[in-house]
Amino acid sequence: MRRTLDGMQSTVTPTHCPYCALQCGMNLTPAPGGTVRVSERADFPVNRGALCGKGRTAPAVLDPGVRLTSPLVRSPETGALVPAGWDGALDRIAEGLGRTRTGYGADAVGVFGGGGLTNEKAYALGKFARVVLGTSQIDYNGRFCMSSAAAAGIRAFGLDRGLPFPLEDIPRTGCVILVGSNPAETMPPALRYFAELKENGGTLIVVDPRRTKTAEQADLHLAPRPGTDLALALGLLHLVVAEGRTDEAYIRERTTGWEETRAAAMAHWPEYVERITGVPVPLLRETARLFCEPEAAMVLTARGPEQQAKGTDTVGAWINLCLATGRAGRPLSGYGCLTGQGNGQGGREHGQKADQLPGYRKLTDPAARRHVAGVWGVDPDALPGPGRSAYELLDALGTDIRSLLLMGSNPVVSAPRAAHVEERIRSLDFLAVCDVVLSETAALADVVLPVTQWAEETGTTTNLEGRVLLRRRALPAPEGVRSDLEVLHELAARLGGGPSPEKRFPTDPEEVFEELRRASAGGPADYSGISYRRLAEENGVFWPCPAPEPEPTPVAPAPAPVAADSAVHPGTPRLFLDRFATEDGRARFAPVAHRANAEEPDDDYPVLLTTGRVVAQYQSGAQTRRVDELNAAAPGPFVELHPRLAERLGAAEGDPLAVVSRRGRAVAPARITTAIRPDTVFMPFHWAGEGRANTLTHPALDPTSRMPEFKVCAVRVETVRS
């Protein structure tokens, strides 16, 4: 089981953290015991050497003692997962998926990916689903991350890239409104940018129902009732119009649709907005003033406003505020989304999303189908159409979808209405999971394949700024572990994907990236001008980065011309400065109106629940819950509640509380604090078992992004008597 370092370089390997979308740079050096040591990498501009505890302790999950090192196959005799050889395990997956395809049709086979997969893996998985399995039923957990911001960005700007500017612009703007984002817990090194903003005289405004560690550092904290961020943005736009703070020349020259949007905002009087949100009118006025007075300003959103059944319109309302005040597509101004997952940005660009082809192309676009089918060597008509979104796919397991291949995701913990999703997963005819650890979802599988992780493989990710990065292999994988690319290669050979499946599913990540470049060429997320060599030399390249136009073919044969340096596209750190990515180059206002949450409090469920993260755990906790240092810092779930609510319940600090929604019940100890509204409780969602927060959450979906309403539902809270 022990890995050998033979043949690996003993010097420093510069690479990136496996966790969040900041993709902090770090150096790895071989350490005794066949693992690596993390050290500061000051040359990477995003985190400038800083790392949070998750990044510093990431090598702990490389330890064979906590990760999988052998395929596991469910024994027909005992029902337990038992170690197996690779060939037998792969045969069993091919047989399981193939039997479903033969018996029920290709769409009865589902594929579920992850926002942590490298670009190469996400690309290969999307291609595998459509070319080898022939199924339309593929989506990924990134749907649960930033899909509402993506949908709103495409609607307004014609393009979705989390941040349309680099993080380094933040300290130089005049004001940032941070909506439903808590980088102090989710990506601590990013907090420096906001501290520098304040040092430079700028203003930080935080909108969050909780007084988080980030909110504590703000100049102004607005604590709206959960699920009312849309009304808040409308109220601010109303004030901006009423106080004559709009930028009429900008609206005229760079936007369309203002009149309807203005009319919608004027229906949201500040006093009405105060009643909906609980944010006092004077605070609204002060926010509008602070946002409009400086020459430049930004709005940044995260999961708070996005993970709602009206998330697209909520983000759209904040974009409207930016557009009305001329704060988009101008230097040091704009709207951006702080993407959460490690490759949440790249993962949504290259084809594991239900409606997408590589290069952020639309699966319904005939030209896009022709281009990508040409790269894949298949008939465009053979490509399936769009499939179900993530929650809808999970909800169809065991009925329309009979078998599932799952890669890098743990929906038993991370999906909304998780008990129902777990029950759906258990009802599958066949489940195969590729993961580095035996997650709660992997534990339900028929076959589990142990795969390589960040420090053991090379590949690219795209961080929240749209900066494509090279993660480098620093040590060999332990014996018994293979890469996801090898898995897809082997399954393609077994399931057949037309002639020569081996060639179509290369196992070398650079070879996959070269194909991805061609597939993305000419698409919105054009990577064709990016190479591994450039990524290694340039510390990342911002997309779009098209390849230089090919030289005209000479009349007489001549050596292929070498592109001069001047022909190399520099990448695009800042988008929209000249025009937006719409047909007419103008940004589009979207008239939106406040609407209620999918579930509002009533006599039976009188309290609002909101969920989120803590600094020492990451997403479903599958990896970080296996790290002693992180567990010591964040050992388990809790219910955060206001002293007034605690008093009503007769609950003291640490008392076990049951939080009950229409979907189930979760139990965790009380954490009493005035940092939360009295009408709201908060639970982190990193844990399984009786403290699983997603047992409670609501699966109502946004009509455009298909994002579930993770951020707000109605619950009742009860003390648990022993």
Least distance between ligand SF4 and beta carbon 532 (Å): 21
Q: Would you count residue 184 as binding ligand SF4 (CB under 6 A)?
A: no
Q: Would you count residue 360 as binding ligand SF4 (CB under 6 A)?
A: no
Stretch that binds ligand SF4, among 4-12, 183-191, 510-518, 624-632 (CB under 6 A): 183-191
Comparison of 190 and 237: residue with beta carbon closer to ligand SF4: 190
Q: Are 240 and 324 in contact (CB under 8 A)?
A: yes
Restricting to residues 46-75, which ones interact with ligand SF4 according to CB under 6 A? 47, 51-52, 54-55
Which stretches of 196-326 are assigned E, i.e. beta strand? 203-207, 220-222, 255-256, 298-301
Least distance between ligand SF4 and beta carbon 351 (Å): 24
Residue 440: closest CA among 456, 455, 426, 451: 426
Token pair recorded at residue 188: 């601590």
Least distance between ligand SF4 and beta carbon 616 (Å): 10
Judged by CB under 6 A, the residue of 19, 527, 605, 638 near ligand SF4 is 19
Q: Would you count residue 458 as binding ligand SF4 (CB under 6 A)?
A: no
Distance separating alpha carbons of residues 173 and 197, to the nearest angstrom: 7
Residue 640: closest CA among 616, 676, 689: 676
Q: Would you count residue 118 as binding ligand SF4 (CB under 6 A)?
A: no
Q: Are 207 and 180 in contact (CB under 8 A)?
A: yes
Comparison of 268 and 471: residue with beta carbon closer to ligand SF4: 471
298-301: strand order across its sheet: 220-222, 203-207, 175-179, 298-301, 334-337
Judged by CB under 6 A, the residue of 22, 170, 488, 622 near ligand SF4 is 22
Q: Quote the crossing angle between the two packed helices 311-324 and 143-157, to the nearest 10°.
A: 40
Tokens 């999918």: give the residue: 598
Least distance between ligand SF4 and beta carbon 46 (Å): 8
Distance separating alpha carbons of residues 425 and 431, to the nearest angstrom: 8
Comparison of 213 and 665: residue with beta carbon closer to ligand SF4: 213
Comparison of 25 and 544: residue with beta carbon closer to ligand SF4: 25
Stretch that binds ligand SF4, among 21-29, 117-125, 202-210, 491-499 (CB under 6 A): 21-29
Q: In what helix (H) or strand (E) does residue 38 lie, and over which residues does it extend?
A: strand 35-40
Q: Between 400 and 439, how does the x/- string for binding to ligand SF4 read (CB under 6 A)?
A: ----------------------------------------
Token pair recorded at residue 45: 């501009």
Comparison of 488 and 615: residue with beta carbon closer to ligand SF4: 615
628 Rama class: left (phi>0) / alpha (psi -120 to 50) / beta: alpha
Least distance between ligand SF4 and beta carbon 276 (Å): 34
Comparison of 393 and 470: residue with beta carbon closer to ligand SF4: 470
Report the residue closest to ligand SF4, judged by CB.
55
Q: Which residue type is seen at 291? A: F
Stretch that binds ligand SF4, among 17-25, 84-92, 260-268, 546-554 (CB under 6 A): 17-25
Distance separating alpha carbons of residues 682 and 325, to the nearest angstrom: 34
Distance separating alpha carbons of residues 167 and 174, to the nearest angstrom: 14
Q: Would you count residue 660 as binding ligand SF4 (CB under 6 A)?
A: no
Stretch that binds ligand SF4, among 122-130, 184-192, 358-366, 509-517 (CB under 6 A): 184-192
Least distance between ligand SF4 and beta carbon 22 (Å): 4
Token pair recorded at residue 378: 């298949």
Q: Would you count residue 464 as binding ligand SF4 (CB under 6 A)?
A: no
Restricting to residues 609-638, which ones interact with ligand SF4 according to CB under 6 A? none
What residue spans of 243-280 are helical by DSSP H?
Answer: 248-254, 258-266, 270-277
Q: To the nearest 10°, report the CA torsion of 205, 211, 214, 219.
A: 30
Contacts of 273 (CB under 8 A, 6+ apart): 231, 232, 234, 235, 238, 279, 281, 284
Cross-strand bridge partners of residue 658: 667, 718
Q: Would you count residue 167 as binding ligand SF4 (CB under 6 A)?
A: no
Judged by CB under 6 A, the residue of 158, 189, 411, 546 near ligand SF4 is 189
Least distance between ligand SF4 and beta carbon 183 (Å): 8
Stretch that binds ligand SF4, among 187-195, 211-219, 239-247, 593-601 (CB under 6 A): 187-195
With CB under 6 A as the rule, give the number of residues binding ligand SF4.
Answer: 14
Q: Please, what sign has the CA dihedral across residues 207, 210, 215, 216? A: positive
Least distance between ligand SF4 and beta carbon 619 (Å): 10
Comparison of 55 and 408: residue with beta carbon closer to ligand SF4: 55
Stretch that binds ligand SF4, among 14-22, 156-164, 214-222, 599-607 (CB under 6 A): 14-22
Q: Quote the crossing angle between the two packed helices 119-127 and 484-495, to the nearest 10°.
A: 10
Comparison of 630 and 676: residue with beta carbon closer to ligand SF4: 630
Cross-strand bridge partners of residue 27: 14, 39
Distance separating alpha carbons of residues 409 and 442, to the nearest angstrom: 9
Stretch that binds ligand SF4, among 20-28, 289-297, 405-413, 418-426 (CB under 6 A): 20-28
Contacts by 444-447, CB closer than 8 A, 24 or more apart: 444/412, 445/72, 445/74, 445/81, 445/406, 446/73, 446/74, 446/92, 446/96, 447/71, 447/72, 447/73, 447/74, 447/84, 447/89, 447/92, 447/93, 447/96
Least distance between ligand SF4 and beta carbon 212 (Å): 16
Judged by CB under 6 A, the residue of 109, 187, 332, 714 near ligand SF4 is 187
Comparison of 47 and 343: residue with beta carbon closer to ligand SF4: 47
Residue numbers at the binding site for ligand SF4 (CB under 6 A): 17, 19-20, 22-24, 47, 51-52, 54-55, 187-189
